[in-house]
Amino acid sequence: MKKVLTYGTFDLLHFGHINLLRRAKELGDYLIVGLSTDEFNKGKNKQAYHSFENRKMILESIRYVDEVIPENTWDQKIQDVIDHNVDIFVMGDDWKGKFDFLKEYCEVVYLPRTIGISTSKIKNDLNVVKNG
């Protein structure tokens, strides 16, 4: 069984996230998502709209996702790859090169981001609507 691992906040879930999760799953048989905790998001200067528990529940309902684990720190990835016997690590290519240190432990794949959508775009667009 080929195991795939990816990480993210996945707030205000959108088709860019789904495109990533679908393609990640297509690379193997079992997809694990390391979901950024609310605490960890503070370190990313992100304030997710949905709590960790609600983002976790939403991700677990997606057909491509087999398991969700918490992402608490930047430096848990090597241990996660080892503990979960991960074969392929996947991220969107906005992270290209940032996780190449994992190549010692597994395959590293950066997938093209979906153009034209992001959680911050959704928030901005909704603000414009609200404020006119």
Q: Is 56 a catalytic residue?
A: no
Q: Of residues 3, 5, 10, 59, which one binds ligand C2G by CB under 6 A? A: 10
Q: Which residues of 36-63 are buried (b: 16+ CB within 10 A; e: fewer)?
A: bbeebbeeeeeebebebeebbebbeebe
Q: Is 44 a catalytic residue?
A: yes
Residue 23 in the binding site for ligand C2G (CB under 6 A): no
Provide the minimum distance between the beta carbon of 111 and ligand C2G in the complex, in angstroms, as a whole number: 6
CB–CB of 82/5 below 8 Å? no
CB–CB of 13/48 below 8 Å? no
Nearer to ligand C2G, 8 or 28 (CB): 8
The residue with its CB nearest to ligand C2G is: 92
Rounded to whole angstroms, the Cα distance separating 10 from 88 reads 20
Nearer to ligand C2G, 85 or 112 (CB): 112
CB–CB of 3/32 below 8 Å? yes
Binding site for ligand C2G (CB under 6 A): 7-10, 16-17, 20, 36, 44, 71, 91-92, 94, 113-114, 117-118
